[in-house]
Structure 1
Amino acid sequence: ESDHENPTRIVIVPRSNRVDCDQLMLHLFATTDLERNYRVNMNVIGLDGKPQVKSLIPLLKEWLQFRTQVVVNRLQFRLNKILERLHVLEGLLVAYLNIDEVIAIIRREEKPKPVLIAKFKLSEIQAEAILELKLRHLAKLEEIKIKNEVEQLEKDRKTIELLLSSETRLKTFIKKELRVILEEFGDQRRCQIISDVPSAQAFNDQDMIPAENVTVVLSEKGWIKAAKGHEIESSSLNYKSGDTFLKDAKGRSN
């Protein structure tokens, strides 16, 4: 029953409704390529730098531990950059509020940096940021733009600090990131993950015997024969010359 939606669709119809379909499928899984098992040797170098053989669950836990550390490092790096930028903006805001005096110092002094530091209590980083701006750019500093950037950076700082200070928030953040990655790069699973599945096992010789009603007949001379069904007349069966029916018993073939 293959078509454009089901490139390979195999339909198996048991010859009798007495056939156990679940057992039949386990037999097919064991004796055909409908199901194949692959052994995996996951020999990895763990976070401790040592080679080890790990099963799937410990490996996933260690990967999550690694992923968590990567996210923490990234957030901490971003937080450091925000703090550095806020420090610079604080100095630029001081320069804006004292723009005329700052420009005069830069024009007048041969080495304006120590003068700016002493006059406005700036750090070296702040003074260098002011001096790196050309005078025409320094004159165009706008308080509203500086304050808007400070406001946005402060929001980002608080968000990151909340994530870094709470394990629960951090885990939620990582989950959201993984879902985004899954939506962007993931595709539909090609197989199902199922727990507590019975192992595939081929039928033995006894299992291959069909379960049918049979009548077992014993003759006077000790011969035994079996006939299908329970509605037969045992005494009317064919016996060897000089032999006749003795007794019969009804039962099942399997």
Structure 2
Amino acid sequence: MTELAATFQQEAVAEAYQHRPPYPDEVFDRLEALITDEPRRVLDIGAGEGAIARPLAPRVEHVDAIDFSAPMIEAGRQRPGGDQPNITWQVNPIETAELDGPYALVTAGASIHWMPWEETFARIVPHLTPNAQLVVIEHGPVDMPWWDGVMQAIQRHSRKKNHDPKYNVVEAIRDRGLLELGGTARTAPVTYHQKVTDYIEQFHSTSSLARDLMTPEEAADFDAMVEEAVRPYAKDGVLELKIEAELSWGRPLA
């Protein structure tokens, strides 16, 4: 896991990250509704290139966006909304980061499974407001008729083996005694149109399918397999995706 996590420090991975679909607007409505304390400061852990921090910033007082990857943070600064004055970007692992709370909300988008949980929660809990919530957000396309073909490509080339699709990181954290789970919600699906080339490239933003982990021949084979799988469903080189997000929130415990 440590070796795979280091993949996010590659500049090519940070560059490919822009091709991941954005979070639905409903995610940010729900995040804003979970803030009940003042000040309306947010801590975004494992912020990456700011897919949560940048859209959330106009709705809150301040966002501290923290990630251990310098290329990811730099990408976030350069992307739309990355220069908002109420976002503070910081390159640091969360367990040793400089925190400027108290925070009324902590967000983690597809990132908390990379962190050492005990150290992470011990670090953030003292910096929370009385009713602050930790929200874990996962999102992506659903109901893809081409997915079996894409999975064949992933299974052939992924550097992460023995993946358990039933594993639930929120339940694992709760079972560790670190989260008092308050609720879960799934957003309504939204339509997102994406070029086939960009759809393929977003896979190379993941820890197990980064181009730098493959030979050029392997990367070409992966791209060709995915392109073959999705081609029958594309119109003029564009796929229609249905994007959903799942939010799980609760009170973090040290």
- TM-score normalized with structure 1 length: 0.19
RCO greater where, 1 or 2, for CA within 8 Å and sep 6 or more?
A: 2
Q: Which has the larger radius of gyration?
A: 1
Structure in which a larger fraction of residues adopt helix: 1
Structure in which a larger fraction of residues adopt strand: 2
